[in-house]
Amino acid sequence: EPEVTQTPSHQVTQMGQEVILRCVPISNHLYFYWYRQILGQKVEFLVSFYNNEISEKSEIFDDQFSVERPDGSNFTLKIRSTKLEDSAMYFCASNQLPGGYTFGSGTRLTVV
């Protein structure tokens, strides 16, 4: 069964550093998403991406965040200057049509 692959599984970074979280969506999917889950809390939508542009973003997705699909395979989330409160599990998801998803196993980001 096709999978969404996320790397790394765990990343530790210092406050103020830039991080890039990587995802390889399922190859024939067209819609891509990032979500985050702060420890013990609910899963929150960050951004959706379709046709090489952001189609929707949440209030969380401020100027410190950006997404890119640089080579038609990878889908990346960049945080320019990390804060302690960015520590969370970040999930990538992809979909062929809106509304049905395959999630990756997540990247646990720890900002120290």
Partner 1 sequence: GDSVTQMEGPVTLSEEAFLTINCTYTATGYPSLFWYVQYPGEGLQLLLKATKADDKGSNKGFEATYRKETTSFHLEKGSVQVSDSAVYFCALSDLRGSGNTGKLIFGQGTTLQVKP
Distances (CA, A) of 60 to 27, 70, 90: 28, 23, 13
Residue among 48, 65, 75, 87 that touches partner 1 (CB under 8 A): 48
**Residue 7 binds partner 1 (CB under 8 A):** no
Alpha-carbon distance 94 to 100, whole Å?
Answer: 8
Helix (H, G, I), strand (E, B) or coil at 84: helix
**Residue 104 binds partner 1 (CB under 8 A):** yes
- Please give the residue ranges that form the binding site for partner 1 (CB under 8 A): 31, 33, 35, 41-45, 48, 50, 55-56, 91, 93, 95, 97-101, 103-106
